[in-house]
Structure 1
Amino acid sequence: MMEAAQSVLMLLLFVVHSPTNFAQQDATMDNRAAGKSVVDAVIKCLDRASIFPDDRNILRRIACAETQYGQNAITFTESNWGGIWQVTAADFERTQNTGRYPHLVHLHDNIKTLWNIQWNSLDRRDLLKPFYSGLVARLVLTLTEIAENKPIPVLISAQAGYWQAYYNPLGSLPAFQTAATSNACESQCLGRLDICIMMDSSGSIGFLNFFLARVFLKDLLGSFEGGSARAALVVFSSTVHLTFPLDTNMTWSEKRLAALDTKLTPHLRDNTHTAAAIKYCIDMFNSTPSIPGVPKINLVITDDTVANTAPLAAAVGITSFAVGVGSEVVLSELLQITDNNRDRVHYLDNFQDLAEFFRQLNRETCEIPQTPRINDTISDSLIRAERRYFRYPVREEGIHIRISTTAGKIAAYYSYTETNPSDAVNDGKIDGITVIPYHKARTTSASRLDSAGSSSDLPLVEVYITVVGMSENNNYTIQGTTYMTNAVSVANYLCKIVLFIYGCLLLVGSVLT
């Protein structure tokens, strides 16, 4: 009887302290996998490799136009091995022709190093896997862009012509443009962030170009309308002019109109002083009451050189994006703004290219994760297919994530390595209350501050979480607590039960004997 009681005790303690197992999910390598999240994961992987030039978002649009992200019924029909990107046999063979395209030798070497893929050993049937289909499509675009000197345009209408001329001669121009602007292809993120937008207003920008810049600002602000984002707008030249601050009471409609107003958003027409604008936004963030955990973002749009001010913004937890327009922009100086993060630097040939660029900036700024403090409960709302991203520190005892839905339905995923996990790529799914364990193999750096502000000498593990709205309107809360705190509370409660059971067993045993 004593042995039985001890077995029960050990079992209960195991249940209390046993962390949730994680199993890596990577649908990009699954035959016939499809969907927007799969395409997003493929593109993120290719972008991180940094072996291809900026594709101007055309790879995503081709996937949408060709097969609706693989969800079109014709995508995987018999003998159709082109995959999500519908790569033809002729184009697949082009990517293996190093004699005609010497540029491929270096790319094949990089691909072998990064992903252990021996290119010439591939079979076209491998393109049923989304990653291979996307990789081949990206090589085809690179051959067209570099080897044949046909640069990828920015505007969707021009990309439709490029796609038809160099990728799919039988493709329909209106169909490409419709797909590229549809919600299914470029879904809007209403956002939960604070953003300070800085627009260059110097004399080097002509009257027409500054008008185009105002229209872009209006559209960018409109992309956040209806959400919980806060935005400030400043224009700068030798001086800085504030159009509206972060904590304004203006409606989003009023903000859009203010961006177009020549008095509220004036063309200052003097020298460029980007450093002053960045300092102005930093001071605004410091003086405006913040929402704990919500990302702080600086966005600079300029046509001229900049000063070295990036460390100022990064040092106070501000994520910076830089958009350079025209031939006078120097890449190294844009990188100073983004703290040398190449993924957050964009270059456009002219101000006309700004017309549709707001969609990409909306998506990229929304993908910056929130960093809630441990024990804080975050309440939020999502529309269908909208996503929200979080980042938590994981100490040695693990972290306990609790997500509760008060309206609608949500799905949630976590990853140690993917900053924006999804149903396609993740280390696990979060359902109600989930314990995420600590893994030393996934440490990011040593002796850093965690979200609660406490210092630790242990290597830091971070976990990234994505919450997705599954119904038309979804309300939820999310909270992260240390696993040990919860485990101890549960253990104390269970121990009382165990002691009661143990006492009962002893009593029964004494009666029987």
Structure 2
Amino acid sequence: MKTMLYLLLTLLLPGTLASSGGADLTLTAGAGGSVVVNAAVDRIRSNCILGDDRLFLRRLAYVETTDGEDSNTYRPGYDGGLWQIDEDKFLETTSCPSSISTECDLISSNFTIDWRTTSWSDLRKPLYSGLAAALYIKKYHSGSPPGDVTSQASFWASNLRPGASKTDFITKAGALKGIDCSTQLDLAFILDGSGSVSSSEFRRMLDFISDIVSDLDIAEDEVKVSTVQYASSVEGSILFGDFTTKNNLLNSISNIIKSNGGTNTAAAILHTANVLFSPASGARPNAKRVAILLTDGWSQSKTATISAATKAKEEGITMISVGIGSIDESELKAVATQPDCTHVILLQDFTEIDSLLYQLKDSSCGASTVVDKDKPIMTPLPVNVTVDDSFVVEDDDDPASPDGGIDDVVVGEVICGTLDMYASYHTPRPSPAFYDSKDSASDGKPGVIYFNKDMKGRSLYITVIASRLPLTIDQMPSCINASFSVGISQLPSKVEIICREGLVERECTEDDLEDNGFSCDESSNVSNPCSSGNVCDHAHPSDTTKFIHCDVKGNMYVTQCPGKAQYNPDTISCGSEPVEGGVSCDVYNPCTQENIANGKFYFPYPSNPSKYIQCDAFGKSWIRDCPSGLVWNAALYTCYYNTGSEPPVYTSIDPPVAATTDANPCNSNNNGQVFPHADPTKYITCAHNGVAVVQSCAPPLVFDVIVKTCNWA
């Protein structure tokens, strides 16, 4: 058995964030679509330009241009962009009067945009159009913007579109699809039942919570709700595990009896973190954790309240503060998750509480799940549903602290599906329209996101868009547990030499190294040509007796051919011996999900006609050899005889096909079809005029009758 020696060089630089460059469609003139509008709104709100916008920006873009889908959005002679801000209204904002001077400064510091020097034509870029809309709204509403959709319609008809009908705004805004909350969310309500809250105000608070619950999918695998009431002390609670049906939960909320006394907010927050969000109370380890504090006054101890909220946030709970009436704004900001401008909502009185319904649902369902080290989060993949979920990796390191010797990476893995990861330090909801880095994953090919050491101390936000394999493949028994996971793993930082005999790896001995003439010095300066997700082999740039093997994470293995034989990239062989499992990186991998979904599993191998490419159900490409004397025939979809040569007359298949009554299942009407062979490591492909060609699966694969290709046993 010949020994293959591997040298792992971890040349994927952990100081960089990405496996690919970023994208920003919010600064692309003429861009549109809901994903672009959402990205622009998230950037504006998360930078506190109009943090508490009550969904006004989102609704306004949809009402004005259907998120840019209207054909006249970017019409000649009009530069108002996705939000259709007229030139005269835009010019009102460029002087940055005192009512919006703070926002102009934030735009300058966070986006490096001098708003005073912008021109109307800049609004063809989505971010600029959204900023103009936000500044115009803020100019006329120094406090919170119009809260409910009716108030927003009034502002629109009076200021942005004088003479227009408020009903038009309300009707079209009502057609805007809200955020999908089909996710595991544990949502807790912390209710102020102190003496300063009247019985009617407390009832209004309960009705409001019921309205939110009514709009959510209450189920064991989706949203679960708990409540706690407090005054001088903590009163009775509804636990996450108490109810899994909406009607029973609503009845229990309606029956909450108001207490009286002081305002011990700290005790209520600690109870939420220690009791409500415990496994014993029904909290789920991988669910989003959100707590909404509703209060009308000042707590008994500001210091204790802030300390309790800090503990809750350290436990991965997103804290949202809703202050009603005379409150301590600085205390509510300290309680809330950052940025506080999107997690603190201030109301004049209880009559405004209904305006929060959609904003709180959006904030709760869109909250990020905290990813802890050594605790990967696994999420099931439902059938025919695309999952869009948010995660955050919080970095508490001091930016000035020295780097350690081992680097961490975020790894996304998927079973029976596909997964795209978008990462950013600059927005809580990165997306295809705005991200700093992205990577993809499929079965057996994890996606990897690298941390940026220049951003030490800042949170990394990750959006995952995942979907299950098509039903034709999804029927496989192995896909019952289709799911994806997001976790943190360590990136090795040392060089290892590994010996492999066949497919078995082991530690190398000194004799191994001497016998094969391996030199580490020759390989240590080789640049890494690998990329995440591509398992393949490169020719060595300077040594013809070596080649470079890439694994799924993009790590490179400089491999010495046994006995210093010459590596041939065309045949993927060391001398006359083929490299077991070898795949050329120079060959495009045709095993896309689209091809697999359409039943296309076989493709020509460009550099050698006596080989072909076979795809498995998970997108992995395998280089196969045609039987001796045959070449790949793309028209017949199988290995066949060279054009001009006379094929032999078919006699029989040995042994016969067990699944058919006729030894030869092929006829003139089933060219290209594939049938099982009595030997599970083989299969039969029907060629021209009923010729049956017996082909072999590569070990250890066997023929899978469901997907009609070789697959893992």
**Residue ranges of structure 2 left out of the alignment (5+ in a row):** 396-403, 475-481, 506-548, 550-555, 568-573, 577-713
Question: How far does residue 85 in structure 1 lie from its aligned partner after superposition?
Answer: 0.5
Question: CA–CA distance in 1 between the matches of 2:110 and 2:460?
Answer: 23
Question: CA–CA distance in 1 between the matches of 2:238 and 2:121?
Answer: 55
* SS at structure 2 position matched to 1:346: strand
Corresponding residue number in structure 2 for 1:350? 349
Corresponding residue number in structure 1 for 2:223? 229
Query: 1:204-219 maps to which residues of 2 (within 5 A)?
Result: 204-219=196-211
Query: 1:312-391 maps to which residues of 2 (within 5 A)?
Result: 312-315=308-311, 316-317=314-315, 318-326=317-325, 328-338=326-336, 342-343=340-341, 344-366=343-365, 367-374=367-374, 376=376, 378-381=378-381, 387-391=388-392
Aligned residue-pair number? 474
Query: 1:198 and 2:259 equivalent?
Result: no
Corresponding residue number in structure 1 for 2:414? 404
**Equivalent of residue 426 in structure 1, options 432, 435, 458:** 435
**Equivalent of residue 44 in structure 1, options 42, 45, 58:** 42
Counterparts in 2 of 1:216 and 1:385: CA distance versus 1, 3 Å: farther
Are the counterparts in 1 of residues 289 and 369 from structure 2 also a CA contact under 8 Å? no
Amino acid at match of 1:442: M
Question: CA–CA distance in 1 between the matches of 2:427 and 2:98?
Answer: 33
Question: How far does residue 347 in structure 1 lie from its aligned partner after superposition?
Answer: 0.8
Amino acid at match of 2:82: I
Counterparts in 2 of 1:476 and 1:73: CA distance versus 1, 3 Å: farther
CA root-mean-square deviation: 3.8
Question: How far does residue 479 in structure 1 lie from its aligned partner after superposition?
Answer: 3.9
* SS at structure 2 position matched to 1:54: coil
Question: How far does residue 275 in structure 1 lie from its aligned partner after superposition?
Answer: 2.8
Question: CA–CA distance in 2 between the matches of 1:77 and 1:122?
Answer: 20
Query: 1:49-448 maps to which residues of 2 (within 5 A)?
Result: 49-50=47-48, 52=50, 54-97=52-95, 101=97, 103=99, 107-146=103-142, 152-184=145-177, 186-225=178-217, 226=219, 227-261=221-255, 265-285=256-276, 287-289=278-280, 291-306=284-299, 307-308=301-302, 309-315=305-311, 316-317=314-315, 318-326=317-325, 328-338=326-336, 342-343=340-341, 344-366=343-365, 367-374=367-374, 376=376, 378-381=378-381, 387-392=388-393, 396-399=406-409, 401-404=411-414, 406=416, 411-432=420-441, 433-444=446-457
Counterparts in 2 of 1:75 and 1:251: CA distance versus 1, 3 Å: same
Are the counterparts in 2 of residues 417 and 442 from structure 1 also a CA contact under 8 Å? no
* SS at structure 2 position matched to 1:77: coil
Are the counterparts in 2 of residues 374 and 482 from structure 1 also a CA contact under 8 Å? no
Question: CA–CA distance in 2 between the matches of 1:470 and 1:508?
Answer: 43
Question: CA–CA distance in 2 between the matches of 1:337 and 1:106?
Answer: 23
Which range is displaced more, 498-507 or 265-274?
A: 498-507
Are the counterparts in 1 of residues 422 and 431 from structure 2 also a CA contact under 8 Å? yes
Corresponding residue number in structure 2 for 1:450? none
Are the counterparts in 2 of residues 32 and 128 from structure 1 also a CA contact under 8 Å? yes
Question: CA–CA distance in 1 between the matches of 2:75 and 2:369?
Answer: 38
Counterparts in 2 of 1:90 and 1:152: CA distance versus 1, 3 Å: same
Question: CA–CA distance in 2 between the matches of 1:16 and 1:491?
Answer: 20
Which range is displaced more, 383-392 or 225-234?
A: 383-392
Question: CA–CA distance in 2 between the matches of 1:496 and 1:423?
Answer: 32
Corresponding residue number in structure 1 for 2:492? 484
Question: CA–CA distance in 2 between the matches of 1:28 and 1:368?
Answer: 22
TM-score by length of 1: 0.80
Are the counterparts in 2 of residues 294 and 372 from structure 1 also a CA contact under 8 Å? no
Counterparts in 2 of 1:489 and 1:159: CA distance versus 1, 3 Å: farther
Amino acid at match of 1:236: Y
Task: Identify, as 1 or 2, the structure richer in helix.
Answer: 1
Which range is displaced more, 124-133 or 199-208?
A: 199-208
Corresponding residue number in structure 1 for 2:462? 465
Which range is displaced more, 368-377 or 165-174?
A: 368-377
Are the counterparts in 1 of residues 371 and 377 from structure 2 also a CA contact under 8 Å? no
CA deviations over 1:1-57 (Å, ceiling 9, x no partner): xxxxxxx999x8569857863312111101111223322332233234335573333
Question: How far does residue 189 in structure 1 lie from its aligned partner after superposition?
Answer: 1.9
Counterparts in 2 of 1:368 and 1:339: CA distance versus 1, 3 Å: closer
**Residue ranges of structure 1 left out of the alignment (5+ in a row):** 1-7, 446-461
CA deviations over 1:109-143 (Å, ceiling 9, x no partner): 55434433333432211111011101111121122
* SS at structure 2 position matched to 1:357: helix
State the structure with more CA Rg: 2
Question: CA–CA distance in 2 between the matches of 1:295 and 1:381?
Answer: 16
Question: How far does residue 378 in structure 1 lie from its aligned partner after superposition?
Answer: 0.7
Question: CA–CA distance in 2 between the matches of 1:478 and 1:486?
Answer: 26
Question: CA–CA distance in 2 between the matches of 1:349 and 1:164?
Answer: 24
* SS at structure 2 position matched to 1:431: strand
Question: CA–CA distance in 2 between the matches of 1:489 and 1:9?
Answer: 7
Question: CA–CA distance in 2 between the matches of 1:30 and 1:104?
Answer: 25
Amino acid at match of 1:260: S
Are the counterparts in 1 of residues 319 and 335 from structure 2 also a CA contact under 8 Å? yes
CA deviations over 1:340-369 (Å, ceiling 9, x no partner): 752321112222322241321222233223
Are the counterparts in 1 of residues 243 and 249 from structure 2 also a CA contact under 8 Å? no
Question: How far does residue 272 in structure 1 lie from its aligned partner after superposition?
Answer: 3.3
Question: CA–CA distance in 1 between the matches of 2:557 and 2:564?
Answer: 11
Are the counterparts in 2 of residues 398 and 483 from structure 1 also a CA contact under 8 Å? yes
Question: CA–CA distance in 1 between the matches of 2:128 and 2:566?
Answer: 62
Amino acid at match of 1:498: T
Counterparts in 2 of 1:292 and 1:81: CA distance versus 1, 3 Å: same
TM-score by length of 2: 0.59
Question: How far does residue 422 in structure 1 lie from its aligned partner after superposition?
Answer: 0.7
* SS at structure 1 position matched to 2:83: coil
